[in-house]
Amino acid sequence: MPTGARLNILSLDGGGVRGIVAATTLLHVERQTEQPVHELFDLVAGTSAGALVALLLTTPEQNGKLPRDASQTVQAFSDHAARIFPLDPLRGGPRRPRPYSQTPVKQVARRLLGEHRLSDCVVPVLVPTYDMAAAKPYVFDSALAQHDPSQDRPLVDVVLSAIAAPFYFQPSKLLADDEHPHSRLLIDGGVFANNPALIALRRGRQIRGNGRPKVLSVSTGGHTRLADAAKGYDWKNPKRLGRSLADFIGLVFDANSGMAHELLHSELPEEDYYRVEIQLPANLDSLDDSREETLAALQAQVEPALRGERFKRFLGSLVEN
């Protein structure tokens, strides 16, 4: 972490395959600031797919080199999305019914992050999850993990816990052992903090209380089917139930993301807070459509949303902070 009073915070929403939207946004951030994420920001928070983006950008590669840049992270998403969310071999689209297997997720996480642990992150990283066993939120915190072995876990376990969205994946079971006194049953933190910016701001102030916080909050695109979905809920119809549950999960994620944005917008001056929010067309808002053409179309949505002068000014203020 850089020295001094600077406190640049990056917050990354969850969103399944739409995590490639966040990674592509950060590609533009790195190009415009000419700084990698791990140097530009003093704390990074990521929920669900945002957690995977955060960890790829803040964890040294297995050969000891510096963390990946955003272009490599975009490529990682493109290369592995269909392994995490396998396509239906007959229809070619997202598979039904769910949930998906955790095994490919574990294999992808191990290939990308190796044997690294949470404590290996080169800047503080936060990953919110919800502990069903304790009935309360649990936040993986790399700064705590560097000083407290009971808070440290392999990054593979962190990723499995972060992406365990209800209906899409089974909960992640972390068993107690000599270093970890409590077993945990963790699901995707998107159920309460799909936009983790508030958590990041609070923790950033704890770590560096005298710093002036500047928060860049990056969404993975709005869920545009909700109005249509509301007309079609039928909990008694098994043919409709799966689609209804998937839409409802999207609604929960979008609702708490929006609340976090409203609170941050009122908490911080305009010059200290920027939210990248991209409204996706209905054919691109799925959390698990891993088709190559969908991933390419998601990336194409990003650049037009970042053309404004205010975004450029905010990036400049991050560099100067």
Distance of CA 241 to the CA centre of its chain: 27
Q: Which two tokens stand for residue 178?
A: 């000599």
Q: How far apart are CA 152 and CA 116, in angstroms?
A: 11
Q: How far apart are CA 79 and CA 76, in angstroms?
A: 5
Amino acid at 229: A
What pLDDT does residue 61 have? 81
| pLDDT tens digits, 36-71 | 999 999 999 999 999 999 999 999 986 667 889 999
Q: How far apart are CA 116 and CA 14, in angstroms?
A: 22
Q: How far apart are CA 52 and CA 126, in angstroms?
A: 11
**Distance between start and end Cα atoms, the chain:** 14
Residue 169 · residue 102 · CB < 8 Å: yes
What pLDDT does residue 224 have? 57
CA distances in angstroms from 9 to 12, 74, 132, listed in the order given: 10, 20, 28
**Which candidate, 162, 128, 158, 154, places its Cα nearest to that of 16?**
162
Q: Could you say which residues of the chain have pLDDT below 50? A: 1-3
Query: Would you mind telling me the total number of residues written for the chain in this entry?
Result: 321
R_g of the chain computed on alpha carbons: 19
Q: Which two tokens stand for residue 27?
A: 């590609």
**Which candidate, 194, 174, 180, places its Cα nearest to that of 145?**
180
Q: Per-residue DSSP letters for 286-310?
A: -SS---HHHHHHHHHTHHHHT--HH
**Which candidate, 172, 50, 160, 28, places its Cα nearest to that of 106?**
160
What pLDDT does residue 1 have? 46
